[in-house]
Amino acid sequence: MRTGKEKVPRIPLAPVLLALSLAAGNVSLAPAAYALSELHKIPGQAANDTPAAPGNAQGQSQPQGGAAPNVPMADPLVKNQNNQSVDKTPGAEDNSKPVEVIYDISKVPEPVRKMREQIVEAAASGDLERLRPLMGTGADQTQVTVGEPTEDPIGTLKDLSGDPDGDEILAIMLDIVSTGFVHVGQGTPDDMYVWPYFAEKDLKSLTPPERVELLRIVTAGDLSDMQEFGGYNFYRLGITPEGKWKFFTAGD
């Protein structure tokens, strides 16, 4: 006896739908698969385009960032030291040939070594006049100002010093020739050994020890101004390979 609540055998729905689809001539379930592919559709691909076979670059799905898999990214604007081109700091000099800083005075010619030694002895004495015999005369006179040579280099150095006896300028001279130095202008009329090496170095690339060494000569405010200016502009001293004291000047 049926009660109205008797269970009726349930026919699975999926086979029925499949049969109806086959009967209607639709033999592919592609619409459902295609709907999934729409999630990663390549921009610009028409809705009825047939996806390319795997391995075809046009058929590969593309990340939302816009870069296709296995495609190399563009080179960075600034390359590191291992690359051929290196972005240069604005205001820096040409660093294609790194500056070689020399600390070993025995590596320089004997005339250079002798002149430096005489300058150190005269400056350490506290007597500015002891520099005069080292400075030459006429066209060979040591340059102590930028521009036209002065008639009395010792008097000019005394005027540049912060004290009436010239002790400050002698102390600066000692500090300058106590640093590392560089050899510049090899094979030219400007062949010279120059102290300090900061005169030929990009100040924005200084290492911490180099900064400390420079701050033994100038103040932190001076260093900041130099970096803004684009180079070292304090006193520098130059001696030719023949041992001639060429200059002791401040400026760029």
Can you give the pLDDT at residue 10?
53
Longest CA–CA separation in the chain, Å: 139
Helix H or strand E encompassing 18: helix 13-23
Encoded tokens for 63? 């990340």
Residue that the structure tokens 């990663």 belong to: 40
pLDDT for the residue 80:
31
pLDDT value of residue 55: 46
pLDDT tens track for 211-223: 999 999 999 999 9
Residues of the chain with pLDDT under 70: 1-97, 252
- Confidence (pLDDT) at 230: 87
Neighbours of 17 (CB within 10 A): 10
pLDDT reported for residue 197: 97
pLDDT tens-digit series, residues 129-187: 999 999 999 888 999 988 777 889 999 999 999 999 999 999 999 999 999 999 999 99
Return left, alpha or beta for 156; rule: phi > 0 is left, psi -120 to 50 is alpha, else beta. alpha
Q: Tell me, what DSSP letter sits at residue 221?
A: H
**What pLDDT does 70 receive?**
47
Position 99 scores a pLDDT of 79
Residue 127 sits at φ, ψ, to 5 deg, of: -110, 105
Contacts of 131 (CB under 8 A, 6+ apart): 119, 122, 123, 154, 157
Find, among 183, 184, 129, 185, the residue nearest to 157 by Cα: 129
